[in-house]
Each structure stands twice: as C-alpha cells, then as structure tokens.
Amino acid sequence: MNVAQPLETCASRAWDDAWPEVSVIVATHNRAPYLPGLYDALAAQTARLEVVIADDGSDDDTWPVLRSLVAAADLPLLALRLPHCGGPSVPRNTAVAQARAERLAVTDDDCLPQPTWAAAVTARIGTDVAVVQGRTCPVDEEHGPWDRSIAIAGPSGLFETCNLGFERERFVALGGFPTLTVLRHSSRGFGEDVLFGAKAARHGGFAFAADAVVRHRWLPATYADHLRGVRRLRGFPWLAREVPEVRERLVCGAFVSRRSAAFDLAVAAVVAACAARRPTLTAGCLPWLFFGYRSARWRTGRMLPVRIAQELAADATAAASLVRGSVEHHRMVI
C-alpha cells in the first residue's frame, strides 16, 4: 500500500484512549474554509468514531486550520501533514495506515455527512459485503450556473469516495487506493476509487446504503473549469479497458451515456445530411437537442440559445477527449 511519511502530525486529547467503532478517512488539499463545517458534521455522528485527516501538501491555511480544530476537538482527531502527492490516493492510504478501527468510512473535505452516516455506511460490512456506497445529495443552496456538486441516488459503479465504507483488513490486503498517472497533466487522481471499489466488490460483495447520506457542497466553477473537467473523460476509455464493471455500464457497450450517444448521432446526422444533400436527415439531432435544452434551461446568466451553444461546445469537447483516449488506450468509448 503506497503511503507517505508525514511531515507533521497533530492529535487531539481524546486520540490516545479512543476505542472507535469506525475510522473516518479524509484527504484534503487547499480547502481550508470547508474544514470547520466538515468537523462539525463528523462531531455530530451517532457512531463512536475517530477521524484521520491527511493534508496533501496544501499551500493555503489548511494546516493551521487543522491544528486549530485538533486543539479544540472533543472527538479523537488525528491530522497528518504530508508532502504534496498530486492526488488523493497516497493521502487516503496514509490516513488508513494510522486508523485503528476495523470498519472505515471515507468522505471528502467538501462534504457534510448526516449524523447517522458513519454508522449506516459501515453497518453491512462483513462476510458477504466488502464495500458499501451511500447516497450523496447536493447541498440545497444558491449556486452559479457552472458550479459543480455530486448527486448519487443509487449504485453508480464508480465507487465515489465522497461516501464509501469498507473493511480495513481487506483494504490493506488489496493494496489500498492505487496511484495512477493516466492523466499526466492533471493534479488530481483519476479512477483510483473505481479500481479499488470494483476489486473489493468483486472479491467480497457490494451493497448500496440509501440511509447513509452525505450532503455535497457546491464548488465554485466557471465555464472554463467545466471544460477542463470534461477533458478528463480522456481517461475513461482506459478505465473501461481495465474494469469490466465499467464496460458493463456503457450504453450499448460503447457510449458513456445516453447523452453522449445522442451527440454522436447528431454529428452523424449532420454529416449524412451534408453528404446526401438531404436536410431531413438532420432530424437525428433532435435527441441531443432534448438533452442540451434540458441541461441549459436551469443554468442562469446568459440567454438560452447561448447556454445551449455552450452545452454543444462542451459535448464536442467531451467527444474529442473520448476519441483521443480511445486511440491512446485501444478501447473504443464514445
């Protein structure tokens, strides 16, 4: 299991004598303003828990904020300051190496777990369930048109680590979260949660816990940020090649989603209409127009036609990224 040597550690007064039922694992990077809210949500948990937060070499006020939280904490809290690792895998693995409970629950620094979350997401871990995914809902608050959050209402197959539970012994035996460089110019990880989650579920079973609820904050973002996120789809063909469970969830075995299939149909329809000089063939664009209009309708700011054009440009960027990734990784996903 790939771990880092902490540059500094800081433990609350309650840490040494704790006998936790659940260890909560958090990796953080440059999210100082979110940490007090996360701590308050974890302090309100009904389970007897400890919390291990690994700071991935932040250059904002993250470490001073963590030290302040530890100094005032009533619950067992351990903060680890690490050199920058360039992704969440090593910080999470390092936090797990310091954890003492047999059941682990993972969430992110931009999340607000509900009070029964830690107990619910780990309740079914045992002989027939190795990994549990909980339900994630965006925080109900005002947000910008391109701000991002996460919504997970059922099993996604992607094992998002904003809300995941598993057994410590099995996690270590499987090597923890892998460290990857599929997206070489990205400072974030890619696919490490899917690789671990799918492997754990394959070896020991999976369950979805609808009562294990995490509220996910809206993260400020611009349209340019949205396009940068879309370009990360370049790695998805690799993920589909490596993880059979991902391939099984592709639409018709080749498309990331119904929306991407609709976009590809629209492109084919326009090309065919131009080649055959038959404008009626552009009717193949209608499925994408449905998706584009539905998505653009709730984004505020610019006029609706401009928002639809932005959706079109984003889907074109996604398609180009998928084609590039398909060529690079020899697995067609569009």
Please write down the HEC assignment for all residues of 116-158.
CHHHHHHCCCCCCCCEEEEEEEECCCCCCCCCECCCECCCCCC
187 contacts 86 by C-beta, under 8 angstroms: yes
DSSP 331: -
Least confident of 166-180, 249-263, 280-294: 166-180
Q: Residue 179: its pLDDT value, please?
A: 85
Confidence of residue 85 (pLDDT cuts 50, 70, 90): confident
Q: Residue 147: its pLDDT value, please?
A: 96
Structure tokens at 298: 């709730």
Dist CA 269 CA 144 (whole Å):
33
Least confident of 180-194, 255-269, 319-333: 180-194
| Mean local confidence (pLDDT), 57-86 | 96
For residue 185, pLDDT over 50 is answered with no
Q: Where are the beta strands (DSSP E) in 246-332?
A: none
CATH of domain 8-221: 3.90.550.10
Question: What value does the CA radius of gyration of the chain take, rounded to a whole number of Å?
Answer: 21
Confidence of residue 187 (pLDDT cuts 50, 70, 90): low
Residues in Cβ contact with 30 at an 8 Å cutoff, skipping those fewer than 6 apart: 58, 59, 60, 62
- Name the average pLDDT for the chain: 94
Going from N- to C-terminal start, the domains of the chain cover 8-221, 258-329
Q: Residue 127: its pLDDT value, please?
A: 79
